[in-house]
């Protein structure tokens, strides 16, 4: 296949997107059935051409077609097939193409799984998503064409950045993009609702499962990125507050607020304006993230090739999308229905606090990320805001959230009594304090406030959620519905996560040592014996490998073989760490440099990281919780009933229903 | 209605700031580094001409030295190059080039074309040590004293004024080291 086919496919997809954004939209406006009926075929065509373009680029990578500039820049003859396939999204141009393909895929999904939606409404959603797609297709075609050629092509390409030659990196960007792009669905639903002139509980209910799935993908993507950074970057950290990480974290925080706000709006009709704003903000922040990563406006560790022209384009695009959405909001929001009132002590208040804390957190992360710009703009002395700012702020904002989470599900809609909410939680509260102090005292030699509060907070979340399960199961013959199970998993997951973070930050052990073959290092009861330094070879690298055997007491535990790799192209040196994951601790060995040629002595860094797996375990529970919630039958069943009887009001809250 | 326009207003302010930020991305120079008066983060990096030789930050201890972040892709590094050359000739302390996120071939060609004024170079292709150093963008210049403490940092290209300032500081560090 020739690369120009890909280019043509992209242009055709653009034409279809333009048609989709206009014709069915006019149809929905004039209530013209024939025009609206075009939407499904346009969505399918758009998807097919986006897929074609993507496949053409993939084939160029498989066949080593170095006449395609992008292939020559990101692949070479020695690169294994799996990495050639993932190299398709390893650079700026290809990752945009992946983004476009995913957006087209989400549109297909909306088309297939929303048959029961009112036709006008569904058409509007698809049209709005078509508009978003126009922006990305134009961006690709005008500033970042992945199918550009160099003729004659070079005999061999450059290497894919060795950091990206890793299984974790194969899945991290697609998951993340699925989340980012998934928020376009929530955005489409919100805009379609505004265009229709009314924000109703209906569209909030319809958009809930989509938002949950997008949020779950984003959670999984961020988790995988953090895990990858941990084992691949070779310094044992799991989160760096880098602008690019923040760019994915801000939409996550807004998305978290959004899924909770949607619950209130759907059940009680309260905060409708908030829900719309958050839906707009979640997607806008995804766009802003793209801008920050690709424009060069901020310097980051994993920035793409920076180009102010691209930056300007995304900025203009974002201005149109977000600016337009917010203007529409200003026009239509006064007509948004007013929700029912509620008392200060009620589930509405609990969820309002949730929204407040998450929105403020997102704002603080955004401010910290943009601080170099803000201070420059205001003419203040320039100070770079580093991890200390983020950590301090986060502990401040997350502590109340951790304390309040178990109370939320216990509360009733509209009006409740503090005594009633708190009563079933007293036992959990006491148990978490006692056990928290005991466990952290048992685990850690030195008294650490962070570890103790972490354990108490984490156990409080887990026990508090368990008490909720008990309360919810009382008087119920069948099990809990899925949206409640999902919520329970997610809330308990935060508990697991908090414990992991507290343990890693309070009691990580790290030693830098000089080791010769035959020598042994002893840390915390573990003995690391270096047997030899060997030379090993991979398909596109050679390496020195340190062969360690680890003992505990006299018992031989395992072999650990960290490497220092040199990649053939470019001669880049990479540290491949050796990891032994465990439920309560990880062993982590990274090679430094050769200190002495004669004795083959190396500087070696050894970490013992307690409970580090809990960080990702908790985060995965969160993501799974999102998926389980979204799979609840009530979203999919009620929708069908809704289609036949659109005016039916939702059942008034009984206090047992739970925001997922 | 007016109240409903607040989000739009906030967003507009953000966009204006980003546009300005995009325009001045190259100008944002002087950022006080949290590393000032702290030990220079340890690095062990391969050389540029001889990738098999690993240089570490500790080998410079005992005298003041200059760490200059550059890359062949960075136009501002070309702008400051005459002053870097002058520094290399006149400062009388080691001037270590920190080749950042660069291709070795490009870097060598760049040096051949514009001249190599540095005492030696280390290569940080992945940009990991650069993170420890808090590198904000190339070019950047660190002044480090004889005890390995970072004493000054300049972000952005060196011009005549900056050069004079740097020389003054280097002289002070040298006399401190001799005392």
pLDDT tens digits along A305-348 = 446 677 788 889 989 999 999 999 888 877 765 666 788 888 88
Q: Which tops the pLDDT comparison, A447 or A245?
A: A245
The neighbour count for residue A514, using CB atoms within 10 Å, is 14
Closest Cα partner for B145 from B168, B120, B175? B175
Which letter, b or e, does each residue of A589-628 get, where b requires 16 or more Cβ atoms within 10 Å of its Cβ? bbbbbbbeeeebbbbbbbbbbbbbbbbbbbbbbbbbbbbb
CB-based contact A106:A192 (threshold 8 Å): no
Residue A323 contacts B, CB cutoff 8 Å: yes
Mutation target for A interface from B52, B126, B131, B138: give the one with most A CBs within 10 A.
B126
Q: Give long-range contacts, CB 8 A cutoff, 24+ apart: A468-474.
A: A468/A406, A468/A409, A468/A410, A468/A424, A470/A424, A471/A410, A471/A424, A472/A409, A472/A656, A472/A658
pLDDT at A569: 64
Say if residue A557 is exposed, middle or buried (CB neighbours under 10 Å; 0-12, 13-18, 19+). Answer: middle
CB-CB under 8 Å, A372 with B25? no
CB-CB under 8 Å, B135 with A330? no
Residue A301 host element (H or E): none
Per-residue pLDDT tens over the stretch A444-480: 666 688 889 999 999 999 999 999 998 888 877 778 8
pLDDT at A621: 96
Q: Which tops the pLDDT comparison, A593 or A365?
A: A365
Bridge partners, A384 (sequence order): none
Rounded CA-CA distance A602/A534 in Å is 12
Whether the predicted pLDDT of A649 surpasses 50: no
pLDDT at A161: 66
Q: Indicate the length of chain A as a whole number.
A: 660
Average pLDDT over residues A245-260: 93
pLDDT at B136: 64
Measured between CB atoms, which of A291, A329, A570 is closest to B104? A570
Kindly state the greatest CA–CA separation across chain A: 84
Closest Cα partner for A635 from A216, A251, A262, A256? A262
pLDDT at A605: 82
pLDDT at A510: 77
Residue A382 contacts B, CB cutoff 8 Å: yes
DSSP conformation class of A383: B
Which letter, b or e, does each residue of A311-332 get, where b requires 16 or more Cβ atoms within 10 Å of its Cβ? bbbbbebbbebbbebbebbbeb
Per-residue pLDDT tens over the stretch B114-162: 788 898 999 987 777 877 777 766 788 999 998 888 888 887 778 777 8
Whether the predicted pLDDT of A137 surpasses 50: yes
Average pLDDT over residues B157-176: 85
Average pLDDT over residues B21-44: 68
CB-CB under 8 Å, B5 with A376? no
Whether the predicted pLDDT of B29 surpasses 60: no
The neighbour count for residue A287, using CB atoms within 10 Å, is 24
CB-CB under 8 Å, B30 with A308? no
Say if residue A152 is exposed, middle or buried (CB neighbours under 10 Å; 0-12, 13-18, 19+). Answer: exposed
CB-CB under 8 Å, A603 with B33? no
Whether the predicted pLDDT of A380 surpasses 90: no
- For residue A595, which residues of chain B lie inside 8 Å, CB to CB? none
Per-residue pLDDT tens over the stretch A526-547: 899 999 999 998 877 889 999 9
pLDDT band at A389 (very low <50, low <70, confident <90, very high): confident
Measured between CB atoms, which of B15, B33, B125 is closest to A570? B125
Residue A158 contacts B, CB cutoff 8 Å: yes
Collect all residues with Cβ–Cβ distance below 8 Å to A73 and sequence separation of at least 6: A91, A157, A158
Taking all residues of chain A, what is their mean pLDDT, rounded to a whole number?
Answer: 85
Residue A384 contacts B, CB cutoff 8 Å: yes
DSSP conformation class of A68: B
CB-based contact A402:B53 (threshold 8 Å): no
Q: How many percent of chain A have pLDDT more than 70?
A: 88
Residue A384, φ and ψ in degrees, nearest 5? -85, 135
Q: What is the end-to-end Cα distance of chain B in Å, rounded?
A: 71
Residue A81 contacts B, CB cutoff 8 Å: no
Residue B2's Cα: distance from chain center in Å? 48
Q: Which tops the pLDDT comparison, B83 or A135?
A: A135
CB-CB under 8 Å, A162 with B19? no
Measured between CB atoms, which of A163, A277, A374 is closest to B17? A374
CB-CB under 8 Å, A235 with B32? no
Count of helix runs (H) and strand runs (E) in chain B: 5, 7
Residue A315 contacts B, CB cutoff 8 Å: yes
- For residue B4, which residues of chain A lie inside 8 Å, CB to CB? 273, 329-331, 333-334
Residue A334 contacts B, CB cutoff 8 Å: yes
CB-CB under 8 Å, A381 with B137? no
Residue A203 contacts B, CB cutoff 8 Å: no
A 280-309 residues inside an 8 A Cβ radius of B:
280, 284, 291, 295-297, 299, 301, 308
Per-residue pLDDT tens over the stretch A9-51: 999 999 999 999 999 999 999 989 999 999 999 999 999 999 9
Instruction: Give the chain B residue nearest A318 (alpha carbons).
Output: B15
DSSP conformation class of A320: I
Q: How many percent of chain A have pLDDT more than 90?
A: 40
CB-CB under 8 Å, A163 with B25? no
Q: Give A454-500 as a 3 state SS string.
A: HHHHHHHHHHHHHHHHHHHHCCCCCCCCHHHHHHHHHHHHHHHHHHH
CA distance B115 to chain A (A): 22
Measured between CB atoms, which of B8, B21, B137 is closest to A373? B21
Rounded CA-CA distance B84/B154 in Å is 13
CA distance B39 to chain A (A): 17
Measured between CB atoms, which of A273, A295, A376 is closest to B24? A376
Residue A370 contacts B, CB cutoff 8 Å: yes
Secondary structure (3-state) at A547: strand
CA distance A299 to chain B (A): 6
Q: What CA–CA distances, in Å, run from A340 to A138, A272, A506, A651? A: 44, 11, 46, 14
Rounded CA-CA distance B12/A330 in Å is 14
Secondary structure (3-state) at A54: helix
Whether the predicted pLDDT of A53 surpasses 90: yes
Measured between CB atoms, which of B11, B17, B104 is closest to A373? B17
Measured between CB atoms, which of A280, A301, A308 is closest to B25? A308
* Top mean-pLDDT range of A97-106, A141-150, A162-171, A263-272: A97-106
Average pLDDT over residues B94-121: 86
CB-CB under 8 Å, A329 with B7? yes
pLDDT at A267: 86
Closest Cα partner for A612 from A503, A489, A451? A503
- For residue B71, which residues of chain A lie inside 8 Å, CB to CB? none
CB-CB under 8 Å, B18 with A291? yes
């Amino acid at each position: 296949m020739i690369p120009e086919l890909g280019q043509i496919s992209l242009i055709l997809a653009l034409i279809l997107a333009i048609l989709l954004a206009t014709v069915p939209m006019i149809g929905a406006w004039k209530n013209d059935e024939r025009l609206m009926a075009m939407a499904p075929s346009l969505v399918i065509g758009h998807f097919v051409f986006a897929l074609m373009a993507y496949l053409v680029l993939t084939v160029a990578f498989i066949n080593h077609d170095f006449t395609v500039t992008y292939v020559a820049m990101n692949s070479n003859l020695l690169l294994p097939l799996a990495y050639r396939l993932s190299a398709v999204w390893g650079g700026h141009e290809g990752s945009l193409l992946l983004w476009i393909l995913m957006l087209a895929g989400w549109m297909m999904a909306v088309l297939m799984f929303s048959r029961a939606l009112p036709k006008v409404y569904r058409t509007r959603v698809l049209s709005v998503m078509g508009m978003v797609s126009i922006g990305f297709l134009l961006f690709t075609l005008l500033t970042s064409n992945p199918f550009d050629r160099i003729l004659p092509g070079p005999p061999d390409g450059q290497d894919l950045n060795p950091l990206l030659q890793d299984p974790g990196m194969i899945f991290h960007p697609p998951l993340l993009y699925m989340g980012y792009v998934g928020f376009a669905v929530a955005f489409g639903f919100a805009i379609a609702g505004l265009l229709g002139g009314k924000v109703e509980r209906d569209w909030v209910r319809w958009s809930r499962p989509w938002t949950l799935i997008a949020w779950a993908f984003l959670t999984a993507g961020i988790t995988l990125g953090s895990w990858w950074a941990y084992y691949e970057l070779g310094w044992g950290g799991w989160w760096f507050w880098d602008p690019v990480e923040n760019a994915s974290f801000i939409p996550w925080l807004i998305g978290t607020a959004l899924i909770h706000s949607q619950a209130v709006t759907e059940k009680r009709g309260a905060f409708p304006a908030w829900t719309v704003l958050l839906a707009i903000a979640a997607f806008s922040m995804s766009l802003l993230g793209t801008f920050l990563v690709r424009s060069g406006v901020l310097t980051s560790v994993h920035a793409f090739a920076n180009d102010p022209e691209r930056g300007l384009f995304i900025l203009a695009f974002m201005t149109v999308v977000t600016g337009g959405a917010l203007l529409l909001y200003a026009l239509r929001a006064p007509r948004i229905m007013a929700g029912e009132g509620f008392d200060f002590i009620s589930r509405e208040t609990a969820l309002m606090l949730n929204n407040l804390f998450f929105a403020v957190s997102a704002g603080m992360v955004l401010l910290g990320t943009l601080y170099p710009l803000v201070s420059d703009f205001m003419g203040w002395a320039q100070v770079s805001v580093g991890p200390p700012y983020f950590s301090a702020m986060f502990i401040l904002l997350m502590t109340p959230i951790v304390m309040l989470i178990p109370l939320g599900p216990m509360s009733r809609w509209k009006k409740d009594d503090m005594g009633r909410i708190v009563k079933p939680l007293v036992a959990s509260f006491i148990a978490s304090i006692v056990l928290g102090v005991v466990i952290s005292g048992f685990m850690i030699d030195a008294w650490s406030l962070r570890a103790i509060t972490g354990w108490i907070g984490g156990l409080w979340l887990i026990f508090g959620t368990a008490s909720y399960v008990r309360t919810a199961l009382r008087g119920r013959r069948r099990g809990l519905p899925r949206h409640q199970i999902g919520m329970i998993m997610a809330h308990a997951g935060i508990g697991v996560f908090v414990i992991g973070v507290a343990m890693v930050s309070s009691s990580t052990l790290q030693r830098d040592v000089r080791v010769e073959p035959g020598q042994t290092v002893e840390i915390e009861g573990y003995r690391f014996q270096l047997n030899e330094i060997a030379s090993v070879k991979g398909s596109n690298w050679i390496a020195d490998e340190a062969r360690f055997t680890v003992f505990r007491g006299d018992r031989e535990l395992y072999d650990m073989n960290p490497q220092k790799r040199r990649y053939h192209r470019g001669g880049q040196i990479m540290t491949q760490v050796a990891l032994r994951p465990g439920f309560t601790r990880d062993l982590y060995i990274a090679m430094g440099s050769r200190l002495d040629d004669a004795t083959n002595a190396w500087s070696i860094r050894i970490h013992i990281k307690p409970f580090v797996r809990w960080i990702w375990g908790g985060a995965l529970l969160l993501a799974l919780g999102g998926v389980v919630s979204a799979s609840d039958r009530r979203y999919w069943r009620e929708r069908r009933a809704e289609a036949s009887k659109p005016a039916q009001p939702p059942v008034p809250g009984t206090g047992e229903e739970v925001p997922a | 209605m007016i109240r409903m326009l607040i989000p739009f207003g906030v967003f507009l302010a953000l966009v204006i700031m980003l546009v300005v930020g995009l325009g001045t991305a190259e100008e944002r120079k002087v950022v006080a580094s949290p590393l000032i008066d702290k030990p220079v983060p340890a690095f062990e990096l391969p050389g540029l001409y001889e990738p098999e030789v690993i240089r570490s930050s500790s080998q410079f201890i005992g005298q003041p030295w200059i760490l200059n972040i550059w890359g062949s892709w960075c136009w501002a590094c070309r702008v400051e190059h005459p002053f870097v050359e002058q520094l290399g000739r006149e400062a009388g302390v080691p001037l270590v080039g920190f080749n950042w996120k660069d291709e070795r071939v490009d870097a060598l060609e760049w040096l051949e074309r514009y001249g190599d004024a540095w005492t030696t170079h280390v290569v940080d292709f992945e940009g990991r040590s650069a993170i420890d150093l808090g590198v904000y963008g190339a070019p950047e210049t660190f002044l480090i004293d004889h005890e390995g403490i970072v004493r000054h940092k300049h972000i952005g290209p060196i011009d005549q004024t900056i050069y004079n300032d740097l020389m003054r500081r280097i002289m002070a560090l040298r006399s401190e080291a001799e005392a």
